[in-house]
């Protein structure tokens, strides 16, 4: 009986693993995607508030201890502005216009969750943005999304395994509104250490400089393929 149950469980696990969606890998931007005749909408999702991230402090007690140990940094982090990341939208628009692309800047904060969800498939958008094709008279939609900004410090349970580093994580992607396929999908992650000492509360000047450097580097990495 035990053998039967074990084999059945293994078969189920294999079946589930085989059906799991593969992670989305980068999709290189082809020259024809943003050719002069292209009509492209540009959108930016909400910029998150700067915060500290403590990966590896997995259990609740570990996370509580790590949070206390980094409380002064967290307080400082929450005082930092991430508004400079918002400038990337205007920079993308300007870059595309220089290439001769017909650009429509979609006003306001773009919220993907307001669009119908689609089954997750590799190289296909999981949201149905096709209604924007008629609304804005565009063929493609370029979205910049920022997943996180602030500082990251790695932990092994209670113990820090790295110094804090400035951290920005973002993704740029282009959706073909005829097919929902990705014509470009580029993740960006920047980790920037402090120059010199990092542990200088309450203003943490070394880390603060690294924070704004990380923001500029992230914007550069998002813009580079579009230029």
Q: Is the pLDDT of residue 1 over 80?
A: no
pLDDT band at 15 (very low <50, low <70, confident <90, very high): very low
pTM over 0.95, yes/no: no
Please write the tens of the pLDDT for every residue from 126-157. Answer: 999 999 999 999 999 999 999 999 999 999 99
Q: Is the pLDDT of residue 3 over 60?
A: no
Q: Is 28-51+83-152+164-226 assigned to CATH 3.40.50?
A: yes
- How far, in Å, are 32, 41, 88, 131, 203 from residue 102 at the CA level? 13, 9, 18, 18, 44
191 vs 20, which has greater pLDDT? 191
Q: Are 146 and 222 in contact (CB under 8 A)?
A: no
- CA 198 – CA 190 distance, rounded (Å): 17
Q: Is the pLDDT of residue 7 over 70?
A: no
**Domain range list for the chain:** 28-51+83-152+164-226
């Amino acid at each position: 009986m035990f053998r039967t149950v074990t084999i059945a469980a293994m078969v189920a696990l294999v079946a589930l693993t085989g059906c799991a969606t593969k992670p989305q890998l980068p999709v290189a931007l082809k020259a024809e995607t943003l050719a002069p005749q292209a009509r492209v909408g540009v959108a930016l999702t909400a910029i998150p508030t700067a915060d500290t991230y403590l990966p590896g402090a997995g259990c609740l007690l570990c996370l509580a201890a790590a949070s206390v140990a980094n409380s002064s940094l967290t307080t400082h982090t929450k005082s930092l502005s991430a508004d400079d990341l918002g400038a990337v939208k205007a920079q993308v628009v300007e870059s595309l216009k220089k290439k001769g692309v017909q650009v429509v800047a979609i006003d306001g904060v773009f919220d993907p969750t307001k669009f119908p969800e689609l089954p997750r498939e590799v190289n296909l958008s999981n949201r149905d943005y096709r209604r924007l094709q008629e609304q804005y008279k565009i063929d493609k939609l370029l979205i910049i999304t920022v997943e996180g900004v602030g500082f990251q410090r790695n932990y092994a349970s209670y113990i820090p395994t790295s110094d804090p580093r400035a951290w920005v994580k973002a993704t740029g992607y282009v959706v073909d509104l005829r097919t929902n396929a990705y014509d470009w999908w580029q993740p960006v992650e920047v980790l920037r250490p402090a120059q010199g000492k990092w542990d200088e509360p309450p203003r943490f000047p070394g880390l603060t400089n690294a924070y704004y450097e990380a923001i500029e580097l992230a914007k550069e990495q998002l813009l580079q393929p579009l230029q």
